Structure 1
Amino acid sequence: MNSVTKKWNWENSIATSKLTRLQEVTLTTLLANMPKIFFGTSFRRLLYPPIFSQFGRAIDIEPDVKFYGTANIEIGDRVKLNSGVRLNALGDKNNRISIGSGTTLERGVDLGTLENSSIVIGENTYIGLYTCITGYGNIKIGKKCLIAAHCGIYGNGHIFADSQLAIADQEVTKKGITIEDDCWLGHGVTVIDGITIARGSVIGAGAVVTRNIPPYSIAVGVPARVIAQRHTAGNNREQG
């Protein structure tokens, strides 16, 4: 491939990207705030599919849901996106946000991929009010998880070893986060980069998870520590 062909392909790719973004902005601007009473949900179901990577059946999108980079966003069947949700997959052609069928994102949930990264949420998972999920590393949340309000799941961390250099000018970690199936994170839990919370685990309200959590564990505190296993915990209850 000669330099002229490469330049033409690059310019064509940029033009296609701009056209796709224009279609996205036009549709979402026109439809995002259309109330349900004026058939807003029906119009969004009818007109949104062509601008998304995948757009399933019976999706319920309330007014004031913001989308950026819809060509990199996949939404399964019967997904519920409440008012104030923001999905941002702009910035890199390899960015990806995928929301499994039957999943609910409550009001104010913010999902953002930063650079060559993905956020994948499994089927029938619930993400509570004003939870933020973002990072340079890949983030995966499994099926049938319960994530309570005001949680923070951050797939990157700042390196600050050099005191002579501003923290913002140093590198970031990009290890990513995995939360396996059937996990429950209580209100205000924070999960830092590089963590795996294994299947069936419960993380108590306000905990900061700084190390991996084994399967079916109950962990609380700052930093979070395992205090019991679910099969030996009797009738313990953890508020969400």
Structure 2
Amino acid sequence: MGRHIDGQHLTQSRDGALKSYMARIVGGARLRDLVKYELITMLLSNFPGAAGLLLRQKIYPALLGQYGKGAAISRGVTLRCPRRLSIGAGTLIDEAVSFDIKSVDATVTLGAHNQIIQGARFETGYDGHVTLGDNCFVGAYTILNGQGGLTIGDNALIGGHCHIVAGNHKFGDLTRPMNAQGFESQGIVIEDDVWLGGGVTVLDGVRIGRGSIISAGAVVTRDVAPLSIMGGVPAKLFRKRVQEDE
């Protein structure tokens, strides 16, 4: 918790353009890594229809860190540092999903039987991670930012247009612009069986307890106890969940 990341590392590089591209996008320094990445993504990433789906199932395992049995990746999915991406069995990735893994020190790990809907974006920073459990749903255009580490348990329901961001810009030095001061990150944990309504924002350092519900549009700024129903800006407790009689 409380990692401090140098902003110079995030924004500046003295390497040549090709080396920077290989480190940032391909995730390898060898020429054969570049050739494999370029050929596979160029030929298959936008190949349409069922044929494209089947070809990606056959060939993408050579590109990714793990590609589980029965997983499926639709067209137009962005893969950066793909060897650092693991996809569990039966997980479905919709069109235009982005895996923005910024270096070989970062990871995205998806469990089994998840549904990732169109336009969702996974971001890691340069040494962070996003870990998603099993049987989860991630809605359209949601952003999962694991700069300081983001862990989501099993059976999570995450509505569309949510923004979960595990990190903050430093701003204590008034002599330097904020975008040159780096990041300070604590990380976020979302436990099993949590439901986030559409447009929820979860800020860095928060833990959302098992079985909680966060209403649409809420902003979560502090820890949430298990089985809580929360809403508002900032989010406050409405009531606790209890077993209902049949």
TM (norm. structure 2) is: 0.84
State the match for 1:42 in structure 2: 54
State the match for 2:81 in structure 1: 69
Q: 1:22 aligns to what SS in structure 2?
A: helix
Q: 1:231 aligns to what SS in structure 2?
A: coil
Looking at structure 2, the residues matched to 226 and 168 of structure 1 have their Cα atoms a distance apart, in angstroms, of 35
Indicate yes or no: 2:58 matched with 1:56.
no
Deviation at 1:137, TM superposition (A): 0.6
Conserved in 2, the CA contact under 8 Å of 1:21 and 1:69?
no
Looking at structure 1, the residues matched to 65 and 86 of structure 2 have their Cα atoms a distance apart, in angstroms, of 5
Looking at structure 2, the residues matched to 124 and 140 of structure 1 have their Cα atoms a distance apart, in angstroms, of 14
Looking at structure 2, the residues matched to 139 and 58 of structure 1 have their Cα atoms a distance apart, in angstroms, of 25
Looking at structure 1, the residues matched to 34 and 115 of structure 2 have their Cα atoms a distance apart, in angstroms, of 26
Cα distance 1:17–1:217, how it changes in 2: closer, same or farther (>3 A)? Answer: farther
State the match for 1:124 in structure 2: 135
State the match for 2:196 in structure 1: 185
- How many residue pairs get matched? 220
Q: 1:178 aligns to what SS in structure 2?
A: strand
Indicate yes or no: 2:223 matched with 1:176.
no
Percent same amino acid at aligned positions? 33
Conserved in 1, the CA contact under 8 Å of 2:120 and 2:138?
yes
AA aligned to 2:154 is K
Looking at structure 1, the residues matched to 159 and 151 of structure 2 have their Cα atoms a distance apart, in angstroms, of 16
Cα distance 1:88–1:115, how it changes in 2: closer, same or farther (>3 A)? Answer: same
Of residues 51-60 and 183-192 in structure 1, the stretch that sits farther from structure 2 once superposed is: 51-60
Q: Which has the higher contact order (CA 8 A, sep 6+)?
A: 2
State the match for 1:230 in structure 2: 241
State the match for 2:94 in structure 1: 82
Looking at structure 1, the residues matched to 216 and 192 of structure 2 have their Cα atoms a distance apart, in angstroms, of 19
1:142-221 equivalences under 5 Å are: 142-221=153-232
What do residues 23-72 of structure 1 show as CA deviations (whole Å, max 9, x unaligned)? 123201210111124x1111001111011111111112111111111110
Deviation at 1:112, TM superposition (A): 1.4
Indicate yes or no: 2:37 matched with 1:27.
no
4+ aligned runs moved over 4 Å, structure 1: 13-18
